[in-house]
Amino acid sequence: MTDPWPIGDLRPEWVPDEVDWHKPSPARVYDVHLGGAHNFAVDRAVAREVAAVMPELPMLLRANRSFLRRAVRHLVRQGITQFLDLGSGIPTVGNVHDAAQSMDPACRVVYVDIDPIAVAHSHGLLKGNRNAVAINGDLCDSAAILARLGDILDFRKPIAVLMVAVLHFVADEVRPERIVRDYLAATVPGSYLVLSHGTRPEVTDESVEAATELYSQSVERFHLRTAAEITRLFGDVEMVEPGVVPVALWRPDDDAESRAGAHLPQWGGVGQMR
């Protein structure tokens, strides 16, 4: 099959002039592994290289996306109709607005991503959806992001704050726990936090280490954390059962899914503000 976006081709008209579209991005590399079509040749090349050293990576990312869908559906059943998806990537395969709005069309979703190309893709995908928008911004600058949301989300009502597979791009010195606290502090009791994170295995796994190093060199620095460190990111929210676990074990749709993904180094959970 001919690559629709070969390196060296002319810049697509919709790509902002200031963006180096020959540089891979986490959002588009993730899209590759999900089987999406919103990526470039450079992203697919990196995705193949990383998967070659860690063959389980595509399964891990799909398990993470499945966790996101299950968590969103659970929250809609609890009456949540507002979702803030931070570090959202490209809302293609298994996205938040489809999962939420299929259950309640009134659900509102705000996607936030630092990659302007991912946001440009999102604008096209969300065209015509009055209850879903995408904005360009750095989730680490919580004050700036929150200042832009007052006309989109109603902070007088509960909001689900989603930080799914994104905080492992935030270094310790930036204090990811502070970022989580800043967003939750802006919400009312009854709001939720959905979080997942790449996990450092207790026993050294050479494939995980090799994939992490390759990804860090080729795309963006990656910071694995232990299960205990990930749990601490939730702070004092009240955890929803079964707590912080491998994402495939968080209320799986079937036993086969949980058995297949129980060993994957990606942990997550859902907690509620009280």
Q: What is the pLDDT of residues 155-181, one digit of tens each?
A: 999 999 999 999 999 999 999 999 999
Fold exhibited by the domain 57-272: Rossmann fold (3.40.50)
What string of DSSP letters covers 80-125? --EEEEET-----TT-HHHHHHTT-TT-EEEEEES-HHHHHHHHHH
pLDDT above 50 for 145? yes
Residue 240 reports pLDDT greater than 60:
yes
Q: What is the DSSP letter of 134?
A: E
CA 91 to chain centre: 10
pLDDT band for 15, please (50, 70, 90 cuts): low
| Average pLDDT of every residue of the chain | 88
pLDDT exceeds cutoff 50 at 182: yes
Domain ranges of the chain: 57-272
Is it the case that residue 2 has pLDDT exceeding 60? no
Higher-pLDDT residue of 128, 255: 128
- Amino acid 4: pLDDT: 41
Residue 119 CB partners (closer than 8 Å, separation 6+): 111, 113, 134, 135, 136
As a whole number of angstroms, the distance between CA 224 and CA 259 comes to 23
Residue 59 to residue 64: CA distance in whole angstroms: 9
Buried b (16+ CB within 10 A) or exposed e, 119-148: bbbbeebbeeeebbbbbbbebbebeebbee
pLDDT higher at 54 or 230? 230
Q: Which pLDDT score, from 0 to 100, does residue 55 have?
A: 86
Instruction: Band the pLDDT of 118: cuts 50, 70, 90.
Output: confident
Q: What is the pLDDT of residue 127?
A: 92
- Residue 174: DSSP 8-state: G
pLDDT of residue 13: 66
CB 267 within 8 A of CB 166: no
Q: Where are the alpha helices (DSSP H) in the chain?
A: 26-33, 41-53, 57-77, 96-101, 116-125, 142-147, 176-185, 206-218, 227-233, 255-261
What pLDDT does residue 18 have?
63
Residue that has been written with the tokens 């310790």 in this structure? 172
pLDDT greater than 50 at residue 6: no
Residue 3 has pLDDT above 50, yes or no: no
What's residue 203's pLDDT? 60
Q: Which residues contact 194 (CB under 8 A, 6 or more apart)?
A: 68, 71, 72, 75, 160, 161, 162, 163, 164, 268, 269, 270
Find, among 24, 53, 57, the residue nearest to 198 by Cα: 57
Q: What confidence tens digit (pLDDT) does each residue in 55-105 have?
A: 888 888 889 999 999 999 999 999 999 999 999 988 887 799 999 999 999
Q: What are phi and psi of 140, to 5 degrees?
A: -65, -25
* One-letter amino acid for residue 258 of the chain: S
Token readout for 215 is 């990804």
Cut 0.85: pTM above it: yes
